[in-house]
Amino acid sequence: NYTMALPGLAKKKLKKKLNEFDADVIHIATPSLLGAYALKYAAKHDIPVISIYHTHFISYIDYYFKYAPFLIGKVKQAIAGSQKAFYNNCDKVYIPAECIREELSEMGVKRKRMKIWKRGIDTALFSPDKSDVRLMHKLTGNTYPTIIFASRLVWEKNLETLFRVYDKFQQSELKVNFLVVGDGVALKASKVKMKNAVFTGKVSHETLSVLYASSSLFLFTSVSETYGNVVLEAMASGLPCVIADGGGSADFIKQGVNGFKCDPFDEHDYFIRIAEVLSNEHLKSQFITEGLQFSNKLSWDQLADTYFEDVLKLSGKKKLIKA
């Protein structure tokens, strides 16, 4: 259920509002039609622009066009061209991970315009203290280790690999539970493919924090993330993480130190790594400790300070005036 702004239908009203506001800096959230309109307005009025790279659209193309592979190259080329044109006309572009900088650079986005700006984490919300053993027993009906996967259930999250990992465990002698948290167009298919898994559907952040902290390990197969908030949330909740070596979330993991990164589409690699963590208490404890230390360093206050410092520099003002 997405909505889209169509600035072409309200040009006069938009222009009037923008002129009245008289911005010193324009922040554009995404290169949509509205974003393109704002970029054009900023250029015409010589107003600096800051943007944040939220969605790695180009990584979705392999999934959306898998039944028309002859179009994949052309569509990716078109997206790369449009993003290059958009972001090279911004004064500063916040990106969440080093790998995203490299990919955008390959598209032709100028490196001097990009700046690493991660995301913060609410460590009061996501915490090991939220663990509820009784809740997990109620959900699963047993005391086996629980592997949690939290995401929108859409095909670009590499769900096919998740299904194969699930099958590997079902065929093995290892007793584990699979807990799938989230909703989406692939929910029905996921339930068919993972018949013995527990599905919660969409839950609140508070409920999610309890489910994280009450699980044994976090599994994430997606390679389409620009950042991967769920990995950081799992770390802050005291979970060892086994994730795909791809997308922005891969930057969180230092291999064998605070988690494992796997060949994104190799279910055997995930199976071996997960089994290793679950059978090795020392390694599991190490991943938990390192993950907590890593996540605790990401403060929203520090990120906000960086943002407002950059806004001040772009505006040419010495200090911000509070509204």
Q: Tell me: the pLDDT tens digits for 221-231?
A: 998 887 788 99
Distance CA 155, CA 145 (A): 26
Predicted confidence band at 319 (pLDDT cuts at 50, 70, 90)?
low
Range in 30-34, 61-65, 184-188, 203-207 with the lowest mean pLDDT: 61-65
**In the chain, where are the structural domains located?**
7-120+300-315, 128-296
Contacts (Cβ under 8 Å, ≥6 apart) of 291: 234, 235, 236, 238, 239, 240, 241, 258, 259
Largest CA distance in the chain: 68
What pLDDT, on a 0 to 100 scale, did the predictor assign at position 137? Answer: 97
Whether the predicted pLDDT of 318 surpasses 70:
no
Q: Which residues of 268-281 are buried (b: 16+ CB within 10 A; e: fewer)?
A: ebbbebbbebbeee
Indicate the class that CATH gives domain 128-296.
Answer: alpha beta
Identical fold for domains 7-120+300-315 and 128-296, yes or no, is yes
Contact, 274 vs 219, CB < 8 A?
yes
The CB density around residue 184, as the number of other CB atoms within 10 Å, is 17
Whether the predicted pLDDT of 322 surpasses 80:
no
Indicate the class that CATH gives domain 7-120+300-315.
Answer: alpha beta
Distance CA 132, CA 212 (A): 10
Whether the predicted pLDDT of 317 surpasses 80:
no
